[in-house]
Amino acid sequence: MPSSTSSTSTTSTSTTTTAPAPEFEPLLADPSLTPEEQVEQAYLFSWDIYLDAVERGDTSFLHLAYADEALDLVASEVERLSSAGQMVLGSVGHDYAITETAEGEVVVLDAYTNHLVLHDAVTGQPLESDPNTTNEQFFAMRKVGDAWLVVDIFGGE
Domain map (residue ranges) of the chain: 5-12+31-154
pLDDT of residue 18: 46
Spatial neighbors of 47 by CB under 8 A, at least 6 apart, are: 12, 92, 94
pLDDT of residue 21: 65
Please classify residue 17 by burial: count the beta carbons closer than 10 Å to its beta carbon, then call 0-12 exposed, 13-18 middle and 19+ buried: exposed
Please state which CATH class domain 5-12+31-154 belongs to: alpha beta
CA dihedral 37, 54, 137, 97 (to 10 degrees): 20
17 vs 142: CA distance, rounded Å: 33
pTM equals 0.86
Q: Is the dihedral of CA 49, 87, 21, 83 positive or negative?
A: positive
Residues of the chain with pLDDT under 70: 1-21, 156-157
pLDDT of residue 1: 44
DSSP 8-class letter at 76: H
Give Cα separations from 41 to 4, 25, 77, 115 (angstroms).
17, 14, 23, 21
pLDDT of residue 11: 61
